[in-house]
Amino acid sequence: MAISGRPDAVSATIRRGNGSEEVVETPWLIGCDGAHSRVRHLNHIHFPGNEEPHQYCLADVLMEGAPARDEIHAFMGDRGLLFFFPLPNGRWLIAADLPTQHDAVKEQPSLQDVRAIVSERGPAGIRISDPRWLAYFRINYRAARHYRHERIFLAGDAVHIHSPMGGQGMNTGIQDAYNLAWKLALVHRGRAPASLLDSYEKERRPVAEDVLTTTKMLTDRFEAFSHLSPEQREQLYLNMVVPPEVAKRMARHLEQLDLNYTKSPICHQHEGSHFGKTRFTAGPRPGEEAPDAKPLLHDNRSTTLFELLRGPKHDLLLFPGADHEARSWHRLAELAQSVESGLDDLINIYFVAIDAGSVPSNAKVNGRLILDPERSLHYRAETECMYLIRPDGYVGYRSEPATASALSRLSRAYFFEVTFVLSKSLVCTSGFEFLSGHNQIRHGVS
């Protein structure tokens, strides 16, 4: 493979195993080609880190007499470590550290080797068969110096590798790709400037660094077990057995359900009011994931927030507040109409109410009303406010109150001109971002 770049495209020459070549011209190139990434090497992007001395074997097999399939099982003893990770279709991933070293390039473990390890270190009655693949490997902890070189990006194992402890590799790689995809789509369509793509590394690198730290800590603890005294082993066990609330918090972190982008340069909020200062008292902060909410009603159909968020668009939630004043509905409807006139292809707009009776008969909601009878989505919204949720499900912006003048405070410069008619006497011309790169208000109302 060979790569060359131009200001507006990337050219990649792909060499196949049979010796033939194909030249691919593409506006953007994303290297998702694993730990030995050719794309990373060809762009001379450094991949600093270190390789651990312990060697492991891996096996993807069928297992009879297996323990519960909704858990990961770890066995620690004097002879070494053994892990069982459940996979789909009744299969299991077996991992075990090894006392001797093997040439991982020229050798691979046999099924008999794996059976011997399971028999020696695991519970009785386990029978394994049908290996899909078997391999030796060593753990590396590495993160690339950069996630991007001009029009070329890296994602997944190509940009960070770590211990498989916790099974976070696939989630991290998929989240890399999703974070980049919606931003790249906006830039490629000419709806946001290329600078939006700088937020990809700024948001995703801290996540990868945390995964490297967490997996190394867990792996080091397990690997040290065979060298510990009985007293130290007991203490290790006590440290691992934690109260349920702590265990739940740890599980959420390992499952990456608590990650956020609160320090992202494209996630913001505005707090103010028509008559004074207000403050958000609840609800997800900018950069946090918008939690699911149910039951909701939309078009006389029961739904959830996650179902409404499906798709490539941003979602703008408009809340009239606890008082449901008619003027709040008027302001929200006017704002929705203004936003829709310029960004209808990028944003879904919803009005959120407790019940249909609180909606004025003349409110122009046009099939965009969400009923939230149990207030699961309301975030204790006492006054009118709005939340903009990005395509990846994270809050990009929130404002209390929900006014166009509040949006003008998002000024970060150089986005495309969009004109929003806010009332019969007020026109706002701006470059409107909506925090994730659509467009951004550039100060100034005329």
Q: Which residues contact 336 (CB under 8 A, 6 or more apart)?
A: 316, 318, 349, 351, 364, 368
* Sequence ranges of the chain with CATH classification 3.50.50.60: 2-47+144-227
**What is the fold, at CATH topology level, of the domain defined by 52-140?**
Alpha-Beta Plaits (3.30.70)
Q: What is the pLDDT of residue 204?
A: 96
In this predicted model, what pLDDT tens digit does every residue of 271-282 receive, in sequence order?
765 445 556 778
* Sequence ranges of the chain with CATH classification 3.40.30.10: 268-406
Classify domain 268-406 at the CATH superfamily level.
Glutaredoxin (3.40.30.10)
State the architecture of 2-47+144-227 in CATH terms: 3-Layer(bba) Sandwich (3.50)
Q: What is the pLDDT of residue 369?
A: 92
Give the CA angle between residues 264, 166, 162 to the nearest 5°. Answer: 70
Q: Distance between CA 33 and CA 3 in Å, rounded?
A: 14
Read off the tokens for 79. 């002879």
> Which residues of the chain register pLDDT less than 50?
274-275, 409-446
For the entire predicted model, the pTM comes to 0.81
Q: What is the pLDDT of residue 407?
A: 58
Q: Distance between CA 314 and CA 391 in Å, rounded?
A: 5
